[in-house]
Amino acid sequence: GESVGLHLPTLSVQEGDNSIINCAYSNSASDYFIWYKQESGKGPQFIIDIRSNMDKRQGQRVTVLLNKTVKHLSLQIAATQPGDSAVYFCAENIGAGGSYIPTFGRGTSLIVHP
């Protein structure tokens, strides 16, 4: 899961395994959540999002679960592949000015071993 500090938590998995990356968010007023993937030397890339009126959303090989009671978000990646190796972080968003103000988690480094 995510934590504060210079060193990112790391999740190491074998190719083909399922991966679960966790995120604890802080603001109960957050109503929109996004998971991003960031590969070395690149900007973050949108993976999947979920609104606060949902508790689960599925995409291609990815599922996001939202538990508002404990302010917890998770990203599940099915059949993890070496190309999934990257830093993953969540963003909680609070509506403001017709848009959103995001707050990002620190990230989790996912390492997939072939």
- Taking alpha carbons only, the member of 73, 75, 92 closest to residue 33 is 92
| Of the residues 73, 89, 92, 108, which one makes contact with other proteins according to CB under 8 A | 89
Q: Which is nearer to other proteins, 15 or 109 (CB)?
A: 109
Please give the Cα distance from 18 to 99 (Å, whole number): 34
Q: Residue 66's CB: how many other CB atoms inside 10 A?
A: 20
3-state secondary structure of 62: strand
CB of 101 to other proteins, least distance (A): 5
Distance of closest approach, residue 75 Cβ to other proteins, in angstroms? 16
Residue numbers at the binding site for other proteins (CB under 8 A):
6, 32, 41-46, 49, 51, 89, 91, 95-107
